[in-house]
Amino acid sequence: GEMGPVIDGRSLERILGYIERSEKEEGAKILLDGREWTRTNAKGNWIGPTVILHENKTDAAMNEEVFGPVLSVYHVSTWQEAIAIENANPFGNAAAVYTSNGGHAEWFVKRVRASMLGVNIGIPVPREPFSFGGLYGTKSKFGDMDITGDGAIEFFTNRIKITSRWPAPSAPEYMAGLAEERQSQQLQEDEEKKGDDGHVDHANFAGTM
């Protein structure tokens, strides 16, 4: 198929545990059961895509990271209820909404509490130069930076600051050149101030000479 096994046996057992608990302890309905992959593939840590229809929004698979091909479904009565469930979650990595109405999408993205938001995209991971990372104040954000984008560049960059002050040069060559430069500038200014009669007007805007 297009999906490989999970990383190890411990991961497989953890995923199976969430599915078993949802079905047998929490009263959820398994709409698509990926455990058949586990039963028919003795070699390897296989678990197929699984869809769980929950009756209770406090079910473990609804509130914890399963790290497996498990999708939880829960029907809400209002949009506000959906936002309340999402924003009560301790994680703040990503959220997505599927709709054909732009106004509906805008309503959700303005209210959901997550760092990466997707509209009609299930895994809203932005491309460079934008960063991948969670939201401050949640369990999806650790430290001051994200792991990609400008945050990663800043993390691996040493900023070296140099503050300098140099006195005016006093070498004879510099002083001689400075005098010539000032004389040239004065001659240019005098040339610009000459009137039609060739007289240089030395008056300034204060009316003094």
The rounded distance, in Å, linking the Cα atoms of 60 and 41 is: 27
Residue 146 has pLDDT above 70, yes or no: yes
Query: What pLDDT is attached to residue 103?
Result: 96
Q: Is the pLDDT of residue 176 over 60?
A: yes
The confidence band for 175, taking pLDDT boundaries of 50, 70 and 90, is confident
In angstroms, the CA 17 to CA 135 distance is 29
Across the range 128-132, mean pLDDT stands at: 78
Check residue 110 and give its pLDDT. 96
The model carries a pTM of: 0.69
Q: What is the pLDDT of residue 67?
A: 94
Q: What is the pLDDT of residues 53-70, one digit of tens each?
A: 999 999 999 999 999 999
Contact (Cβ atoms closer than 8 angstroms) between residue 61 and residue 54: yes
Is-contact 91 140, C-beta < 8 A?
A: yes
Pairing of strands 70-73, 50-53: parallel
